[in-house]
């Protein structure tokens, strides 16, 4: 039985064998624009309080909670029940300690 001739094979085989010259439109070259030289930037003198990390004061607003999962869970549950935050409860605890020792409360310190 003779095999069927596949026309797609002939098409693929003929690619690149075209005898008709293909002319492409000329490519217009864009003029090269020279970048303007940038003036050198002089380093500005450091302002007071700027500079190394040792001079910058960073304070954490996240209070310490003991790493015990039970303590964290209990504090979180209490904060949920009282509709407040864990941070507010810890601040309340600090205020209690300050009052017991005759020190200023957090609110008094911020005035």
Summarize pLDDT for 22-79 with one digit per residue, the tens.
677 777 777 777 777 777 777 777 666 565 555 566 666 667 777 788 988 999 999 9
Which pLDDT value is given to residue 81?
Answer: 96
Domains of the chain: total: 1
Predicted confidence at residue 46, as pLDDT, reads 66
- What proportions of the chain, in percent to the nearest 5, are helix, strand and coil? 35, 0, 65
Indicate whether 91 belongs to any domain: yes
Is there a domain that residue 39 lies in? no
Domain with 77 in it: 65-111
Domain assignment present for residue 23? The answer is no
104 is a domain residue: yes
């Amino acid at each position: 039985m003779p095999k069927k001739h596949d026309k797609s094979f002939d098409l693929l085989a003929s690619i690149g064998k075209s005898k008709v010259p293909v002319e492409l439109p000329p490519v217009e070259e864009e003029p090269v624009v020279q970048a303007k030289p940038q003036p050198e930037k002089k380093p500005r003198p450091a302002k007071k309080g700027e500079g190394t990390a040792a001079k910058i004061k960073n304070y954490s607003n996240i209070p310490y909670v003991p790493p015990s999962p039970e303590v964290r869970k209990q504090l979180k549950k209490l904060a949920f029940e009282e509709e407040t935050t864990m941070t507010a409860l810890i601040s309340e605890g600090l205020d209690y300690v300050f009052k017991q020792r005759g020190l200023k409360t957090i609110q008094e310190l911020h005035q």
